[in-house]
Structure 1
Amino acid sequence: MSKLLEVKDLEVSFDTYAGEVKAVRGVSFDLRKGEAIAIVGESGCGKSVTAQSIMRLIPSPPGRVKNGTIIFNDIEILSLNERQMQAVRGSEMGMIFQDPMTSLNPTMTVGRQIQEVLTKHSKITKKEAALKCAEMLQLVGIPNPIMRLKQYPHEYSGGMRQRAMIAMALACGPKLLIADEPTTALDVTIQAQILDLMRELQRKLDTAIILITHDLGVVADLAERVIVMYAGKIVEYGSVEDIYYNPKHPYTWGLLKSVPRLDSHNKEQLMPIDGTPPDLFSPPVGCSFAARCDYAMKVCHHCEPDYFDVSNGHKTACWLMHEYASGIEISILKGVI
């Protein structure tokens, strides 16, 4: 399967009065056509900044891409001017933002907002765009689409607003859909519906998906591969089975231990990760997770680990995978999903 997106050595910083915040530090990954991947990690680890960099939505100033390349559909995204990028954004790439209430314009009807996307990127009449809008609302499961097109965002429920955002993002049939924590503000029932909807749309439209989330519990059924980020870096990546059943980085273990298990017969207490993420004004030397890691060794505080191959397509940046640390036995939770 050919690559749709390839990110290499991406570095993004924000210049503030207090100094330079190194938000993303050398991130590399790829995405194949029609594939779904998830980027997970704590708040502030660089997930959303990575996604916004792909869409070229980083405000400049204060943000700037210091290094790296982003190749989408054989086009170097970072070399495009703003007018060229606007032609790609919306038609080739779509994005679902975290809070639909602040992303939708409260002074415009939902139908007009979706129609604007269509008329900007497609050569169709307003009448054709209106019919397409109704089709999109029906596709995402909103009842009475003709009536709903005339309503404003405040007249929609939270789940319906998120569905409207998905309809807007998919209106022009993009090859890539980036979903930035699309279920964070929704209850668990609506979360499941939104994830089912995204999975169904991916199957119907063959759209590649990047799901940004801090909750490992929502990605098991949607994603094929998982990228775990911490302090602006990728610390582990692999298939869903690799990450859930054979994780190798202590940070991934901590994330998995914080997921409640419905199949557990014991009243197990969830285990939080002690401490706080490092200050990205001055990232620590060595492994960024060393200060919070129960298994940190002397080398972890002084030398940054390379990526170690666990299996085909499964890599982790942890000194515990070095041959000299092979005698260390770690007991972790199994069968999280």
Structure 2
Amino acid sequence: MAGENSDIKQLRYQVMLALYLPILLYSFSTFDLDETTFAVKEVKPVVVGDENIVLGQPYTARAYLTAASKVTLKAPDGRMTVMGDTSLQMPTGSLLAEDEDVKKINYTAVMEYQQVNKETAETEVRGSFTVRRPELVATSVATQSLYRQTLNQIRIDVPGLENQPLKLEANGNMQEGRQLRLSPSGQSVSVRAFLASEEEDDVFLGSKEFAVIDPPRPEIKVLDATGKQLTSGDAFSKARPVLDFEIEPDREYASSYPQDARYQIRRARVSIRKGLAASQEVGTFNLSNGSELRLVRELRDARPKDQILVQLQGVVRINHAGQAIPVQLSEASRSFSFVLS
């Protein structure tokens, strides 16, 4: 019985040897054997980093060697900085000239490692990335245009640099932060954005162009002495010859820019037409309180059904700085006629 068990064990051993010996031989054939030590034939450098970087973002890459445990990085390229044992970093703020929007950057580093025989060897690693000028995202009450001689507030955001300090410049004035207040007077204005730096020069990120337009035109309403609204052709009482001209600014403009939406009328030219005769000018009068026209003496000799013609002059907008800015209105929108009663 004992002899039979021994034969079975011997048979099992032979079967296992037949199965696993080829596998073991194949495994050892992939290594160069030198007595009691072995070495891998090839060591390859590998670098991993983002392919695209926004101007101003630091470029960071990890570098390592296949089949090498201990590696020391060196950066002979003065633009690169070694961070720890496996990381490389390069600032990108100076990589683009002001007239460049995109550029491919190549770099090299040296990896020092220890071979199996304890000797030190070096290999060069190469990498590249693309740096791009960021897109400036502007927000304001008037999204595409700015209002002329109005205190506009603009916000500039830069995707990819959300937590970085910015500076904004327009018309020679520089402000820190992402918001800029300006009152342009020309046809357009350019806002330039910079990445703020305490140690080096600020990095120019890009510019945003805005067209400059006039604010929406206001509307003029006419009220008589009782507060009743009049339109051209309505009757006007000789007994109470007072006209009040009210200027209503555009509702949205007044809501967004209340300090810039105040209006005044400086003068009014008055004429009288009797029947079919040509009109005769009575005179040009200053409006009291910027809106009220009193014609007590001027209409003393006028008769019922005479036509009173009023043309407003010197319509101005008072802006945030107290400047009186002429408002260009059509002649029809500032001319009125009433029938004396």
Q: Which TM-score tier does this pair reach, normalised by the shorter chain?
A: under 0.3
Q: If you compute each CA radius of gyration, which structure gives the higher value, 1 or 2?
A: 2
TM-score, normalised relative to structure 1: 0.17
Give the number of the structure whose residues are more often helix, by fraction: 1
